[in-house]
């Protein structure tokens, strides 16, 4: 009982601090002139992914729990995509109908990175290494850098076409940049402290329930560390900033792959993916299928929906539930 109460308390800290972290990260992005869409894809995504980053560092560098680290990252990717279904349920039109086509670029790179991670998982102990780090990790970092460069140029071109509309959006005139940076740092400290506790709590939950570290990491810890993305994305949709919300989800998944590479560097016993259970492939396949569904919807552009959610986000939710069921059976 004590473990579960501690787990809920950590989750509450991450939610409260994560929301403020995202808010002041958004302020910094606006004050620096980067624009809201770019903030959603890069800065906001990175800030809301801090729990995954420090939970992974705690699991690999401090607690020797590779399955918790890998499960957290991949499970968070899967849960982040489920947020698209939540956002779709909050508005009368399909989510994909209100999103701009630039998100296709982010989805494409997300699928590519998941494919690279999947190949590293399949190779296992046969993965070539650089020192103790698998070659998959530097490949992830390079692909992420290319993705950020390409999406930045694409977004700049789009902003140039819509400059008048983008220029109208000013939300934080009353907050000085220096104050935003200070508040950002305070919120980040709370998120880091809470996230470092998660791996040991996850291991306790795994032992008490008998569910296994891979399942706990992919479900419970992934859900907890994804709570900032949930809160920020839903708040953005309610404000009408759909592209900011979608960029946050897709950008968080891209940044999560970098987190996996960082975890590999600090895990000194060899390639991280080789030390993890093969059941994580279920999460990778599910995340690929979920992104593919949204990619199809962005291309097909259905403008109406008959039910609370449109067909694509309903499919995304169905894939998520199926993946959790399969992982439970394989635990």
- In 3D space, the residue among 328, 115, 107, 324 whose CA is nearest the CA of residue 223 turns out to be 324
pLDDT at residue 140 greater than cutoff 60: yes
Which comes out higher in pLDDT, residue 33 or 139? 139
Residue pair 248/46 in contact (Cβ under 8 Å)? The answer is no
Residue 35, pLDDT score: 56
User: Which tokens sit at 9?
Assistant: 């308390």
Which comes out higher in pLDDT, residue 170 or 105? 105
Q: How confident is the model at residue 67 (pLDDT cuts 50, 70, 90)?
A: confident
pLDDT at residue 236 greater than cutoff 80: no
- Indicate the burial class of 63 (C-beta count within 10 angstroms; 0-12, 13-18, 19 or more): middle
User: Which of 2-6, 139-143, 290-294 shows the lowest per-residue confidence on average (mean pLDDT)?
Assistant: 2-6
Which comes out higher in pLDDT, residue 3 or 103? 103
pLDDT at residue 163 greater than cutoff 80: no
Percentage of residues of the chain with pLDDT beyond 90: 31
Dihedral of the alpha carbons of 152, 94, 311, 73, in degrees to the nearest 10? 40
> Which sign does the torsion angle of CA 266, 39, 100, 322 carry?
positive
User: Which of 36-45, 229-238, 312-321 shows the lowest per-residue confidence on average (mean pLDDT)?
Assistant: 36-45
Alpha-carbon gap, residue 280 to 212, rounded angstroms:
12
Residue 229, pLDDT score: 78
Alpha helices in 89-162 (DSSP H): 95-98, 103-123, 136-161
Residue pair 30/39 in contact (Cβ under 8 Å)? The answer is yes
Residue 203, pLDDT score: 63
3.30.70.20, 1.10.10.10, 1.20.1420.30, 1.10.40.50: CATH of 2-168+176-330: 1.20.1420.30
Q: Is the pTM of this model over 0.85?
A: no
Residue 146, pLDDT score: 94
User: Residue 251 half-sphere exposure, CB side, CA atoms within 13 Å?
Assistant: 28
pLDDT at residue 168 greater than cutoff 50: no
User: Which tokens sit at 241?
Assistant: 């900033």
Contacts of 268 (CB under 8 A, 6+ apart): 132
Phi, psi of 254 (to 5 degrees): -65, -45
DSSP for 42-75 reads IIHHHHHTHHHHHHHHIIIIIS--HHHHHHHHHH
Query: Rounded to a whole number, what is the distance in angstroms from the first to the last CA of the chain?
Result: 22
Average pLDDT of span 94-115 = 90
Q: Domain residues of the chain, as ranges? A: 2-168+176-330
Q: How confident is the model at residue 176 (pLDDT cuts 50, 70, 90)?
A: confident
- In 3D space, the residue among 208, 246, 200, 196 whose CA is nearest the CA of residue 86 turns out to be 246
- Could you tell me which residues are beta bridge partners of residue 134? 129
Which comes out higher in pLDDT, residue 149 or 35? 149
């Amino acid at each position: 009982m004590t473990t579960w109460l501690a787990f809920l308390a950590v989750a509450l800290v991450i939610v409260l601090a994560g929301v403020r972290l995202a808010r002041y990260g958004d302020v910094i992005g606006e004050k620096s002139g980067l624009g809201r869409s770019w903030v959603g894809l890069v800065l906001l995504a990175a800030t809301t992914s801090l729990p995954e980053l420090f939970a992974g560092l705690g699991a690999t560098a401090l607690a020797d729990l590779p399955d918790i680290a890998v499960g957290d990252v991949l499970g968070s990717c899967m849960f982040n995509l489920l947020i698209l279904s939540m956002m779709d349920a909050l508005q009368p039109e399909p989510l994909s109908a209100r999103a701009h086509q630039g998100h296709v670029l982010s989805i494409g790179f997300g699928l590519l990175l998941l494919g690279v991670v999947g190949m590293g998982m399949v190779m296992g102990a046969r993965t070539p290494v650089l020192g103790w780090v698998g070659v998959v990790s530097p490949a992830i970092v390079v692909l992420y850098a290319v993705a950020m460069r390409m999406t930045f140029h694409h977004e700049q071109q789009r902003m140039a076409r819509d400059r008048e509309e983008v220029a109208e959006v000013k939300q934080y005139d009353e907050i000085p940049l220096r104050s935003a940076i200070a508040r950002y740092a305070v919120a980040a400290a709370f998120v880091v402290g809470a996230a470092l506790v998660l791996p040991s709590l996850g291991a306790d939950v795994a032992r008490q329930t008998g569910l296994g570290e891979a399942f706990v990491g992919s479900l419970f810890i992934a859900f907890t560390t994804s709570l900032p993305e949930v809160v920020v994305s839903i708040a953005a949709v309610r404000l009408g900033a759909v592209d900011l919300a979608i960029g946050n989800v897709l950008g968080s998944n891209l940044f999560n792959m970098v987190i996996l590479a960082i975890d590999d560097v600090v895990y000194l016993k060899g390639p991280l993916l080789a030390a993890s259970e093969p059941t994580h492939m279920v999460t990778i396949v599910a995340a690929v299928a979920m992104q593919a569904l949204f990619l199809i919807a962005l291309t097909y552009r259905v403008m109406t929906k008959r039910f609370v959610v449109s067909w694509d986000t309903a499919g995304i939710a169905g894939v998520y539930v199926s993946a959790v069921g399969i992982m439970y059976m394989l635990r």
